[in-house]
């Protein structure tokens, strides 16, 4: 995490929650420790200073390696079913990292609550927690040190130990299985390090991590006998409504989308899962597919380079600044008319794929979920969270329960505050850890706490 972002984190927390720096004091830092901590931000600053060379007095970690499941699809891109009529799977070796508090932070005999934290979108295959890649792992490490959690951060499929595959971007079942399968492995990793899991399980994530977290909550809630019991989750700023809110963003010529690499990542990820049902050679504008000395969009988004590089390449090829593009300009016009534009969209094959991966319907949440999202988010429009709250709330209400006892929504600022997707992450992620720490209280009391 760059110093500028760390500064923005401190300012954002201070502006959003009075006294946000504090939680009830942990045990005193040993006298021979190089610094004293007064806040979560202090922990984060220390972790940033050391990077992957973390001293054990700040936070401990261990690599996570486990056998997960990849959903099986036939050559035509349709799911393979097992003899019981359920989706079949293939074994895959996945990776990640588990962070846990330093020895002085917890009693030797203490057992720890487990937070499984799905990281946000990372195009570059080595920008993942298992190898201390990217920056998001620092937020999880700081939460382990400050709040006293065990924090498991699995690498999402197609990265880390699974780098030979393409990441199934926003494919619900692929992501849900990968995270769900990491839960017992995280407990075993803790035990191997001389720690214990107390059985309390939280799930969380932001952006694609938020989507992944909610997909995993759905998996746990719809198969309650197959997984450990869930205490609660924080599913924040995710593209939960692919067939509605995200499709509207894809086709709107007026929306200037700042991260154009999301689109090839999405299309190539779905092609990796569904094969011919979504063919990149049909989807993208010919100018982006044309081979040049700089390659083409398929090579740019192969996972070998950062998304910022891809944004710049797309902008150069289309002759526009990277932050002035509309996603619509990246599509092949005949495919766009056939698959995403009205009236064809109502019955198009692409709509069926998107709807298959929407997360707001077909299940019933029973455990608390925190939703956080900036109303001014351009990357993932706020409407994704709004429709999810509406539809899940209706489902809960039909059972006679109060949706407000299960669904908790705390927008990141107000419309007009211009809190971006990245700035929203720096506010939402620490607040989710704090919400878990305090027992998932009603938000009216939570915002008044000095954490």
Residue 411: pLDDT band (50, 70, 90) is very high
Residues composing the chain: 451
Half-sphere exposure of 194 (CA within 13 A, CB side): 9
Coil, helix or strand for 299? helix
Integer angstrom CA distances of residue 25 from 41, 80, 104, 113, 141: 14, 52, 14, 18, 18
Residues 394 and 350 in one domain: no
Query: What distance in Å separates the CA atoms of residue 241 and residue 244, rounded to the nearest whole number?
Result: 5
pLDDT above 60 for 102: yes
Pairing of strands 407-409, 369-371: parallel
> Looking at residue 20, which CATH number applies to its domain?
3.40.50.1820
For range 346-361, the mean pLDDT: 98
Residue 34 or 432, more confident: 432
Query: Tokens 């526009």 appear where?
Result: 320
Residues 49 and 117 in one domain: yes
Pairing of strands 89-100, 60-71: antiparallel
Tell me the average pLDDT of the chain.
91
DSSP 378-437: SSS-THHHHHHHHHHHHHHHTTT--GGGTEEE--SS-TTS---HHHHHHHHHHHHHHHHH
Residue 30: pLDDT band (50, 70, 90) is low
Query: Which domain does 273 fall in, by range?
Result: 256-356
Domain boundary among 293, 327, 356: 356
DSSP 12-43: HHHHHSTTTT--S--SPPPTTSS----SHHHH
Per-residue pLDDT tens digits for 59-94: 999 999 999 999 999 999 999 999 989 899 999 999
Residues 110 and 156 in one domain: yes
* CB contact at 8 A, 300 and 313: yes
Residues 390 and 349 in one domain: no
pLDDT above 50 for 19: no
Residues 86 and 39 in one domain: yes
Coil, helix or strand for 354? helix
- H/E stretch holding 65 reads strand 60-71
Query: What distance in Å separates the CA atoms of residue 281 and residue 286, rounded to the nearest whole number?
Result: 8
Domain boundary among 330, 356, 382: 356
Domain boundary among 287, 321, 356: 356
Inside any domain, residue 248 = no
DSSP 200-229: EEEEEEETHHHHHHHHHHHHHHHSTTTSPP
Residues 272 and 127 in one domain: no
Q: What is the pLDDT of residue 16?
A: 39
Query: Tokens 């064809």 appear where?
Result: 344
Neighbours of 409 (CB within 10 A): 16
Q: What is the pLDDT of residue 43?
A: 87
Inside any domain, residue 251 = no
Q: What is the pLDDT of residue 57?
A: 87
Residues 204 and 127 in one domain: yes
Least confident of 105-114, 328-337, 395-404, 418-427: 105-114
Residue 420 φ/ψ region, left for φ over 0, alpha for ψ in the -120 to 50 degree band, beta for the rest: beta
- Range of 17-31, 103-117, 421-435, 437-451 with top mean pLDDT: 421-435
Q: What is the pLDDT of residue 350?
A: 98
Residues 281 and 414 in one domain: no
* CB contact at 8 A, 297 and 289: yes
Q: What is the pLDDT of residue 430?
A: 94
Coil, helix or strand for 291? coil
Q: What is the pLDDT of residue 109?
A: 63
Inside any domain, residue 451 = no
pLDDT above 60 for 251: yes
* CB contact at 8 A, 163 and 202: no
Q: Name 294's Cβ contacts closer than 8 Å, sequence gap at least 6.
A: 313, 316, 317
pLDDT above 60 for 213: yes
Q: Name 428's Cβ contacts closer than 8 Å, sequence gap at least 6.
A: 206, 234, 236, 237, 372, 373, 412
Integer angstrom CA distances of residue 296 from 279, 282, 319: 15, 14, 14
Residues 183 and 62 in one domain: yes
Q: Quick one: tokens of 420?
A: 């971006």
Residues 37 and 137 in one domain: yes
The model scores a pTM over 0.85: yes
pLDDT above 90 for 38: no
Q: Quick one: tokens of 150?
A: 């065990």
């Amino acid at each position: 995490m760059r110093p500028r972002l760390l500064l923005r984190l401190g300012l954002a927390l201070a502006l959003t929650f009075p006294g946000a720096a504090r939680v009830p004091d942990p045990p005193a830092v040993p006298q021979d420790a190089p610094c004293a901590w007064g806040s979560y931000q202090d922990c984060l600053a220390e972790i940033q200073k050391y990077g992957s060379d973390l001293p054990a007095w700040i936070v401990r970690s261990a690599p996570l390696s486990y056998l997960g499941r990849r959903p099986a699809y036939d050559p035509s891109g349709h799911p393979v079913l097992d003899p019981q009529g359920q989706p079949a799977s293939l074994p895959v070796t996945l990776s990640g990292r588990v962070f846990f508090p330093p020895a002085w932070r917890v009693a030797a005999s203490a057992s720890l609550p487990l937070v499984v934290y799905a990281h946000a979108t990372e195009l570059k295959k080595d920008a993942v927690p298992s190898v201390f890649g990217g920056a998001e792992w620092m937020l999880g490490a700081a939460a382990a040190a400050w709040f006293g959690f065990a924090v498991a951060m699995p690498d999402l499929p197609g990265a880390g130990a699974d780098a030979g595959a393409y990441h199934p971007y926003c494919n619900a079942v692929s992501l849900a299985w990968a995270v769900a399968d990491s839960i017992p492995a995280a407990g075993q990793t803790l035990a191997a390090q001389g720690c214990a899991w107390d059985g309390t399980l939280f799930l969380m994530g932001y952006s694609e991590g938020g989507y992944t977290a909610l997909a995993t909550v759905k998996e746990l809630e719809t198969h309650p006998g197959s997984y450990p019991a869930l205490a609660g989750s924080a599913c924040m700023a995710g593209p939960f409504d692919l067939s509605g809110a995200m499709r509207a963003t894809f086709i709107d010529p007026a929306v200037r989308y700042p991260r154009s690499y999301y689109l090839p990542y999405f299309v190539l990820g779905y092609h990796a899962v569904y094969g011919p049902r979504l063919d990149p050679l049909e989807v993208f504008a010919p100018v982006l597919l044309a081979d040049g000395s700089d390659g083409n969009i398929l090579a740019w988004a192969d996972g070998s380079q950062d998304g910022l590089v891809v944004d710049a390449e797309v902008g150069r090829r289309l002759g526009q600044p990277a932050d002035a593009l509309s996603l619509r300009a990246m599509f092949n016009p005949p495919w766009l008319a056939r698959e995403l534009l009205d009236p064809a969209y109502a019955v198009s094959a692409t709509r069926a794929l998107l709807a298959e991966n929407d997360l707001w319907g077909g299940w019933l949440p029973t455990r608390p979920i925190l939703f956080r999202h900036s109303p001014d988010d351009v990357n993932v429009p706020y409407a994704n969270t709004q429709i999810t709250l509406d539809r899940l709330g209706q489902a809960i209400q039909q059972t006679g329960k109060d949706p407000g006892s299960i669904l908790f929504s705390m927008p990141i600022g107000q419309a007009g505050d211009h809190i971006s997707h990245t700035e929203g992450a720096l506010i939402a992620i620490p607040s989710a850890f704090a919400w878990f720490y305090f027992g998932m209280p009603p938000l009216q009391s939570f915002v008044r706490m000095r954490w």
